[in-house]
Structure 1
Amino acid sequence: MNEMWPGVIDTTQLSGTHVAAVNRMSDAAKSGTWGEVVEIINSSSWISANQWRIEGRSWFAPLHQAAWHGAPVEVASRLIELGGWRSLRDAEGKRPIDIAEERGHTHLREVLAVADPTPVEQLRYAAWDQHLSELIASRTQLMDPVAIRPVQTEVIVAENLDLLSFLYPGMYGGFTMSVHRLRLFVESSSRVAGGSGQAHVITEGGCVLVEEGFV
């Protein structure tokens, strides 16, 4: 499964139509208007069930809001069917299951269940996140700055994703990430710059360039 990381949190880099649609979905999720949330996700190829309010501070996606409200199990199930990640963390590092448990919504325990990372895995994901953020900063340092939410690499493993892609504004390309043998593989390129492709392998110990010059 190939998924997109909706990491751009700079409205100046996105179309007004897209920002308005995301705001409508976020407002609907905040008010518990689940039919409208589902309709907006279904009607757009660019708005996923993992989209948070672009300039918001909580980073609540619809599944977090469902957990906060104590929505019916059917609502949470539908959001997951639409691609919602149970392992996605908000700005405080909480997953939907964590929010549901805090608010006593035990009826959502089963549908939102996701394995807790072990201490070793927590350290691994934190290192991957840091090295990936540094790589993205390095690869885009000559471009105009863009506010982004760092990629949460944990979701690649927890959601069993084949690829997680992040399109970077102005790059006319971006980054694709996958996990193999406890290593994070990252390819990055720009469609307008021939031979711009680079491949890196990220481990807890650092980030290593393993191939370049493709695309």
Structure 2
Amino acid sequence: MPDDDLDEFRWDSILDRGDLNAELFATRDQLADAARAGRWTEVLAILDEDHPFSEMITVNSIRVGGTSGFAPLHQAAWHGADLDVVSALLERGAWRTLRTSAGETAESIARRKGHDRVADGVAWPSPHLGDTRLADMETYLAALITVRARQLDKSHRMPELGPLEEYPEAKFWCPISGMYGGFSYHWLDPGGRSVLEVSNWSRVVGGSGQRHHISENGVTLVEVGFA
């Protein structure tokens, strides 16, 4: 399947508040504050508003510079929110597989807090999640990003492959601060899900592109020099 034919999602990679303008991180803080407090009407209103940087204010956004890595669905699980709230977040694209900084999904948080109805509503059954093959590929992807972006001297929130289990025929975009570009990744074969194709480039450096294939066995460079 050609790369350009795939739906695209954005991975929330930015950790440094200095990499966002004041208006953007103020709105992100407002979203995080409302979700933490369980003010769901406010959360949904922020998500539905037409922001100047709407692609960076989504239902999967976390607090930039925070430590918990909680997105709104994690907060809904922690609070034991009404199922209509959970459904509203899922309808807006909340990823059930997204992990917090402690490695918990919304389901595991809800189970821990005793909110079983919420846990059942956000569960994502997958034979691949949690297996070492997917975990190894995630580690290789993080290593590739670290090596390619090392000269920028910045930390980034590394992509998780769980959302690709929810959207196996999509591609994901991971921007890298200071690179004026980033990493695009998708399954080479969505059915088999054994090889991840990863492209990276800088928009201001002609011929900077590299394409790699990642499997459970490691990383292979397959193309260099595209724009």
Aligned positions of 1:135-174 closer than 5 A: 135-143=144-152, 145-174=153-182
- Unpaired segments ≥5 residues, structure 2: 1-6
Question: Residue 23 of structure 1 aligns to which amino acid in structure 2?
Answer: D
Sort the Cα spacing of 1:51 and 1:161 in 2 relative to 1 into closer, same or farther, 3 A: farther
Could you say which residue in structure 2 is the equivalent of 1:78?
88
Aligned positions of 1:58-207 closer than 5 A: 58-118=68-128, 122-143=131-152, 145-179=153-187, 180=189, 181=192, 182-207=194-219
Matched residue count: 213
Question: Residue 210 of structure 2 aligns to which amino acid in structure 1?
Answer: Q
Task: Show structure 1 runs of 4+ deviating over 4 A.
Answer: 116-119
Asked if the contact 2:29/2:63 (under 8 Å) is kept, the reply is: yes
CA distance in 2, matches of 1:49, 1:26: 10
CA distance in 2, matches of 1:19, 1:38: 17
TM-score by length of 2: 0.89
Percent identity, please: 37
Asked if the contact 1:87/1:159 (under 8 Å) is kept, the reply is: no
Asked if the contact 2:77/2:119 (under 8 Å) is kept, the reply is: no
CA distance in 2, matches of 1:25, 1:205: 40
Give 1:160 deviation, angstroms: 3.1
- Unpaired segments ≥5 residues, structure 1: none
CA distance in 1, matches of 2:111, 2:96: 13
CA distance in 2, matches of 1:98, 1:118: 17
Give 1:158 deviation, angstroms: 3.1
Give 1:96 deviation, angstroms: 0.5
Could you say which residue in structure 1 is the equivalent of 2:4?
none
CA distance in 2, matches of 1:171, 1:82: 29
Sort the Cα spacing of 1:71 and 1:161 in 2 relative to 1 into closer, same or farther, 3 A: farther
Corresponding position: 1:28 with 2:37: no
